[in-house]
Chains A and B, each alone.
Chain A
Amino acid sequence: MKNFIVSLILVEMLFIGAVDTAEAATMLWVERLSREEMMAMFTKKTGESKYSDASGKEEKSSKKVSGKSFTSGMVEMFYLYSGSFPDKKRNNTYLQNTHFWLEDPDGSIKGLNLRKKGGPYMVVAPNKNGGWYQLTAYNDYGVENGIRFHLFSQNSFLNHSDTVRRDEPEQIKRAGFYEGRPIMEIVHLVEDMQQQYVIRSGDELRVKVFLKGETVKGAHLTLITEKNWQKQIKTDEKGDGRFTMIKETFSEGKIDKSRVEKYLLIAVHEVDGPGNHNGRAYEKQRYIATLPLMVYPSSLDWESKSTGYLVAMFGIGIISGAAAIRRKRRRKDEGR
């Protein structure tokens, strides 16, 4: 049953475009570690778990990040990858020049100094500031083959604390930003609050692509799964793109409700116009932004409504049939 539904979804998205691997090689993305991976990392590094429990709350961080030391808060760890999804490389040299910005729920944007080579970057969201945080990475790749590349990636996470601090966002100059927002940004549009937490296979993903604060028409949007299934569409006039999330893996036997799959959404847009950067000339600029996604299995995998209806109808039929037969027999016995 579940295979049938998923194959329907696959048939629905027939044309499979391929993103040019050469260009894909120049993209980067920020991937969040899952809790299990984080716990494994800490115990491996320190030999013991200094941190209280797997939820990551109440952890005291002694690392100094960007010159400030945060007090207790929620810890998230990120890797910065480049390469073609899902093959990833961590050690491309150009990754060293990536700027990181963390946007607080109240809108203030701070830069993060994360120059550690390769290894996971740690971000702490303080407890007294709850809400959605967005981590933006910007890399000015430079010019290659006459095209100027700008690479963006963003990742959001929710800090489950209650209070939200209200601060005036500071307006300072940030690399890769245009008037307070990243130059290129993919915004995930949600209708149901539940979808903001968790995307399930079968759900529809709606995104809007912004470039310098304006929606982009005709940007190439590509969705790639871990097993390298891809689909490519273009954004419409309003900058919207829609995807239906597919299911990649099928478990034999036991159904694992908590198995998460990592997908990547890549937006590519080219702007014509010659220019010069660091002594190299280019004819057009290419902006590439990525949005990593964690997709969870949906109840379509393990629930069967039709079987439920069948059992209920069958049950009603059998029980009323048995009751009717018994009544008829009793009526005959009593001679009514």
Chain B
Amino acid sequence: MRVDRIRLLIQFLSFILMIYGGIVLINLGRGLPALTCVYSKYSAGLCFLYPLQRFAGLPFFLLLGGYGILLLKYMGMFILWVIVLNTAWCGWVCPIGFLQDLLSKLRAYMNVDLSRFSWLTRDRYKSVKYILLVLLILLPIGIGNSFFGLPKLTDDLAVPFCQICPAKPLLPMFDGNFSHIFIDFSSGTKIVLSTLSMIILALFFTASFLKRRFFCSYCPMSALLSLFKKTSLLSLKKDGRKCTQCGNCSRVCPMEIREIADERERTDIVTQDCMLCMRCIEVCPEDNALRATFAGMTIFPSTAKGFLKRQGAFEKV
């Protein structure tokens, strides 16, 4: 079973759904765990980070009043989505993930070698996404409330992550709306934020072309999802004894997770970066060394026969 082809198809359909679903009035709520940007006109659901930032920007007394219930409702939906599908939202649904995968396919077609992080780089910058997540909650709180008598932060910092996220200029382009590519000169904060947005957009294109899923290592949505990875139904398990340490799994992993290959003791190997794309299972040549489970039942184990079929080894030379 060519899972990567199925995944590409589902990503494509999700992309169409998330970008154009509003035309047929599909509304999946405001708690989606994927970067389905609020700035695209017909989006079928909103990325949860947007309401999170907006609500964090309200003064405390409003939040603890009626608005807090609304936030809890969105958060409840979000947690429900995450518990069912875990980080498969990143790998199978997110439109930014789809665009990055398309760029990678373009690169493979053009026969350009891919780049990898060195182990040091990857380990050093693992915490960037958590820092971004904390900042995107704290900064709006500083706008709505004043701490210890300090002045409130400027209003220009509202929805700070949305202003630098690459989804904001990119996804509205698919509606024909190119108006989000600009530098805003109205204040110092805005100049910095809009320049950062442009630089991150440039970085997105080049780095995602060269390295697979570059942005996902720094996405705060991924940081948020990784808080729930232990409690969710969809999971990835490994049998350490069957593993021959061939290293195929971590070599093909787009997120370059070494723990899949190196881990021998634990069975649960969904790490903070994993997006459940199941490439690792596809290239594992040992039976049942890696398997994907849903609520404890195995839905996709690794098999030697499946491996050889996918490698095309049965075809005529």
Chain A residues engaging chain B, CB cutoff 8 angstroms: 254-255, 257, 301-305, 307-309, 311-316, 319-320, 323, 327
Contacts and interface: CB of A to CB of B under 8 A. Distances in A.
Contacts of B207: 319
B198 A303 contact: no
B184 A302 contact: yes
Contacts of B179: 305
Contacts of A314: 202
Interface string B76-119: 00000000000000000000000000000000000001010000
Contact of A305 (B181, B186, B187, B190): B181
B185 interface: yes
Nearest to A255: B186
Given A303-B185, A304-B183, A312-B181, 19 more contacts: A301-B186, A302-B184, A302-B190, A303-B182, A303-B184, A304-B182, A304-B185, A305-B179, A305-B181, A307-B182, A311-B195, A311-B202, A312-B201, A314-B202, A315-B201, A319-B203, A319-B206, A319-B207, A327-B113
A-B pairs with the 8 shortest C-beta distances? A315-B202, A302-B186, A311-B198, A308-B182, A319-B206, A255-B186, A303-B182, A307-B183
Given A255-B187, A315-B202, A309 B181 contact: yes
A304 to B, nearest CB: 5
Nearest to B180: A308
A236 B194 CA distance: 44
Q: Which range contains the number of B residues in contact with the other chain?
A: 20 to 34
Q: Which of A302, A309, A312 has the most chain B CB within a 10 Å cutoff?
A: A312
B210 interface: yes
Contacts of B181: 305, 308-309, 312
A303 B187 CA distance: 11
A171 B207 CA distance: 70
B156 to A, nearest CB: 10
A255 B184 CA distance: 10
Nearest to B185: A302
B199 interface: yes
Contacts of A304: 182-183, 185
Q: Which of B183, B198, B207 has the most chain A CB within a 10 Å cutoff?
A: B183
Interface string B197-223: 011011101110110000000000000
A299 to B, nearest CB: 8
A312 B201 CA distance: 7
Contacts of B185: 255, 302-304
Contacts of A308: 181-183, 194, 198
A253 to B, nearest CB: 11
A11 B101 CA distance: 49
A303 B185 CA distance: 6
Q: Which of A302, A314, A320 has the most chain B CB within a 10 Å cutoff?
A: A302
Contacts of A305: 179, 181-182
Contact of B199 (A303, A307, A315, A323): A315
A316 B205 contact: yes
A183 B75 CA distance: 56
A302 B181 CA distance: 13
Contacts of A307: 182-183
Nearest to A317: B202
Given A323-B115, A323-B206, A323-B210, A315 B182 contact: no
Contacts of A323: 115, 206, 210
Contacts of B198: 308, 311-312, 315
Contacts of A313: 202
Nearest to A301: B186
A153 B231 CA distance: 67
Interface string B165-192: 0000000000000010111111100100
A305 B195 CA distance: 11
A144 B198 CA distance: 63
12 contacts: A302-B186, A302-B190, A303-B183, A311-B183, A311-B198, A311-B199, A311-B202, A312-B201, A315-B202, A319-B203, A320-B206, A327-B115
Contacts of A312: 181, 198-199, 201-202
A257 B155 CA distance: 12
Nearest to B211: A323
Contacts of A254: 187
A319 B207 CA distance: 8
B167 to A, nearest CB: 15
Contacts of A315: 198-199, 201-203, 206
A290 B292 CA distance: 73
A305 B169 CA distance: 12
Contacts of B205: 316
Q: Which of A307, A320, A327 has the most chain B CB within a 10 Å cutoff?
A: A307
Contacts of A316: 202, 205-206
B266 to A, nearest CB: 35
A323 B209 CA distance: 11
A307 B184 CA distance: 9
A172 to B, nearest CB: 44
A127 B258 CA distance: 63
Contacts of A309: 181
Q: Which of B184, B195, B206 has the most chain A CB within a 10 Å cutoff?
A: B206
A302 B202 CA distance: 22
Nearest to A313: B202
A302 B115 CA distance: 39
Nearest to B207: A319
A272 to B, nearest CB: 50
Contacts of B206: 315-316, 319-320, 323
Contacts of B113: 327
B202 A319 contact: yes
A257 B186 contact: yes
